[in-house]
């Protein structure tokens, strides 16, 4: 009894297992034999008997059909004649082929060889003698006139009557088929008898093995109860407390046997649960850095708690990210509203629009400085970028700069119609390539002000901090609205200029009309004066003419 519990149980269950193995082997052998016999009966003998019966029926049917051919059916292709032809060409070949295949596996006993020989003999009688005689009759009586041929009838009639050669041959064949049927039935009955004997033997063996197994189970149960009852009952009381959520303070007595090893494992579980309890309390307090070590690499609960901590940390980060995204969305929404008001309230003056937009953009994005350039295309052949606003360090700068297309970053941004974002700017880089001044920021952003694929200007801002993606996207979005406003303002200015020119031209035309009217009046007065003068001269001439006439008289 110094054996360990495992050895004791193994001894008891070894006997049971041995009995089960022996039982299994013998049962398997018995079932295998029964299965072979059953398979033979089901797949060979029974189908063979059925096909032999079909052979018997087909031969018997052929006898009736050939008599009908001779004595009754004088019309070509009657159903009986067609049936006899089909029996010769289709039915019987199928029957004999199937039986030949089955005869290959008639190996139940030595009778199978004799049966196969008998089957071949029957087939020879049918194929070589009976069916050729049928075909001879069928070929001779193939027309209506052939039945009137006395010679043919004389040759055929003795062979087709009862007791004739064909009938005698058919009876002999049927007798042989009947004998073959009887032998096949004997095989089936013998196989079934063997199966019954196998099952009777198997039943007796099962009863014997049941008695042995019951005895072995009783012995094993007694050994198990005596060896395990007390330690297990104590362990059970500890587990019942743990099932109520109570962690016992006392430790189980550990030993070298299996129960002692179970006690050791249970002590580790209890200590692990205490660690889990402390860990969850610290996690609940928000102390995610609390040290916790699972019992092993396969500790499901411990690993789940660590995963839970990671999920909580991830959820916290996701919440912070969502809050940050909300802040960004609010920032963008407020910025859109702000610049919408600025663009709406400054849509009649490009200089004011440039300054208000740039100064607010620099302040709203926490930038340091910025420049605003608008395309001056008054001369279509010599367009350039004109700085309309410059803002740095919360104050307006005044600078006059003209930048050609493709010149510097501003000109390149206009030419490429793409934003330019630089985060590593060498010393004095802005001073050389940008119009923002002498300070050297750490990031530089140039946004083309595009609307309907046309660039109306460039907005350039710089900061000592890097711009986030959402800020760049926001500036580009506002840049499109600025471009649309610039387009509208330019259109309004052009319209105003055209209107002013039209009014000026109208006034000039009105002045010219007044001058022409005065000139016409003066001309008319001159004409009237000339007419009066001519009239006076005419009168004087007439008076002079009269005086001269009087003097001559």
Look at residues 281, 311, 278 and name the one whose alpha carbon lies nearest to residue 293.
278
Q: Do 294 and 303 meet the contact criterion of CB atoms below 8 Å apart?
A: yes
Task: List, in order, residues 6 or more apart from 20 with CB less than 8 Å away.
Answer: 213
Q: Say whether 251 sits in a helix, a strand or coil.
A: coil
| CATH number attached to the domain at 303-553 | 3.30.450.40
Cross-strand partners of 396: 391
- Please state at what angle helix 46-71 crosses helix 79-86, rounded to 10 degrees: 140
The confidence score (pLDDT) of residue 160 equals 47
Pairwise CA distance, residues 14 & 33, whole Å: 28
Rounded distance, CA 489 to CA 493, Å? 6
Instruction: Output the pLDDT for position 71.
Output: 64
Please tell me the predicted confidence (pLDDT) of residue 151.
Answer: 47
Residue 438 and residue 444: Cα distance in Å, rounded? 14
Q: Residue 307 in contact with residue 313, Cβ under 8 Å?
A: no
The span from the CA of 362 to the CA of 145, in Å, is: 123
Q: Which residues lie below 8 Å from residue 107, measured CB to CB, with a gap of 6+?
A: none
Note down pLDDT in tens along the chain; length 553 residues: 455 665 666 666 676 677 677 777 777 777 777 777 777 777 777 787 788 888 888 877 777 777 766 666 566 667 777 777 787 778 878 888 887 777 777 654 545 567 777 777 777 887 777 777 777 777 776 666 555 555 444 444 554 444 467 777 777 888 887 887 787 777 777 777 777 777 777 777 778 777 877 877 777 667 666 666 666 777 777 777 777 777 777 676 666 666 666 777 777 777 777 777 777 877 777 777 777 777 777 777 777 777 787 788 788 888 888 988 898 899 999 999 999 999 888 877 888 888 999 999 999 999 888 999 998 887 777 888 888 898 876 555 555 578 888 888 888 998 899 999 988 776 665 553 454 545 577 889 999 999 888 899 999 999 888 999 999 999 999 999 999 888 888 877 777 777 777 778 777 777 777 778 787 887 788 778 877 877 877 777 777 777 777 776 5
pLDDT for 181 equals: 77
443 and 421 Cβ atoms separated by less than 8 Å: yes
For 273, how many CA atoms within 13 A lie in the half-sphere containing its CB?
Answer: 14
Q: ∠ CA(320), CA(326), CA(332), 5° rounding?
A: 140
Element (DSSP H or E) covering residue 384: strand 384-392
Burial class (CB in 10 A: 0-12, 13-18, 19+), 419: middle
Strand 454-463 vs strand 369-376: parallel, antiparallel, or unpaired? antiparallel
Query: Residue 155's pLDDT is what?
Result: 44
Predicted model pTM: 0.43
């Amino acid at each position: 009894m110094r054996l360990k519990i495992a050895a004791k149980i193994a001894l008891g269950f070894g006997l049971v297992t041995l009995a089960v193995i022996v039982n299994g082997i013998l049962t398997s052998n018995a079932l295998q034999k029964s299965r072979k016999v059953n398979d033979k009966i089901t797949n060979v003998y029974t189908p063979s008997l059925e096909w032999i019966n079909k052979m018997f029926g087909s031969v018997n049917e052929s006898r009736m059909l050939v008599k009908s051919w001779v004595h009754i059916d004088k019309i070509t292709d009657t159903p009986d004649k067609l049936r006899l032809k089909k029996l010769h060409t289709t039915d019987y070949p199928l029957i004999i082929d199937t039986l030949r295949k089955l005869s290959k596996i008639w190996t139940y006993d030595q009778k199978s060889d004799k049966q196969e020989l008998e089957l071949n003999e029957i087939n020879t009688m049918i194929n070589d003698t009976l069916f050729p005689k049928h075909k001879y009759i069928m070929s001779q009586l193939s027309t209506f006139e052939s039945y009137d041929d006395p010679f043919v009838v004389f040759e055929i009639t003795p062979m087709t009557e009862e007791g004739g050669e064909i009938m005698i041959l058919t009876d002999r064949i049927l007798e042989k088929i009947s004998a073959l049927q009887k032998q096949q039935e004997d095989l089936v009955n013998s196989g079934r008898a063997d199966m019954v004997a196998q099952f009777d033997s198997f039943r007796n063996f099962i009863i014997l093995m049941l008695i042995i197994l019951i005895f072995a189970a009783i012995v094993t149960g007694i050994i198990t109860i005596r060896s395990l009852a007390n330690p297990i009952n104590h362990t059970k009381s500890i587990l019942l407390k743990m099932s109520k959520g109570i962690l016992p303070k006392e430790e189980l007595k550990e030993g070298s046997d299996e129960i002692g090893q179970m006690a050791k494992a249970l002590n580790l579980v209890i200590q692990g649960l205490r660690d889990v309890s402390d860990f969850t309390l610290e996690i609940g307090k928000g102390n995610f850095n609390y040290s916790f070590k699972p019992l092993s690499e396969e500790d499901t609960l411990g690993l789940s708690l660590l995963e839970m901590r990671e999920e909580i940390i991830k959820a916290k980060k996701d919440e912070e990210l969502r809050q940050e995204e909300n802040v960004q969305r609010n920032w963008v929404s407020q910025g859109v509203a702000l610049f919408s008001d600025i663009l709406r309230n400054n849509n009649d003056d490009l200089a004011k629009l440039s300054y208000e937009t740039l100064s607010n953009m620099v302040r709203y994005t926490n930038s340091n400085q910025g420049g605003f350039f608008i395309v001056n295309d008054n001369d279509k052949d010599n367009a350039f970028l004109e700085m309309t606003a410059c803002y740095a360090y919360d104050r307006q700068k005044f600078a006059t700069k003209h930048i050609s297309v493709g010149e510097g970053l501003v000109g390149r941004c206009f030419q490429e119609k793409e934003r330019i974002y630089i985060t590593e700017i060498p010393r004095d880089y802005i001073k050389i390539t940008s119009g923002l001044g002498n300070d050297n920021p750490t990031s530089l952003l140039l946004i083309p002000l595009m609307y309907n694929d046309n660039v109306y200007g460039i907005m350039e801002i710089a900061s000592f901090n890097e711009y986030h993606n959402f800020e760049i996207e926001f500036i580009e979005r506002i840049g499109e609205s600025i471009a649309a406003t610039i387009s509208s303002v330019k259109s309004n200015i052009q319209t105003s200029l055209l209107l002013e020119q039209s009014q000026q031209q109208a006034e000039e035309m009105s002045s010219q009309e007044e001058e022409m009217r005065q000139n016409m009046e003066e001309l008319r007065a001159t004409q009237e004066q000339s007419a009066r003068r001519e009239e006076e001269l005419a009168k004087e001439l007439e008076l002079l003419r009269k005086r001269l006439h009087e003097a001559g008289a």
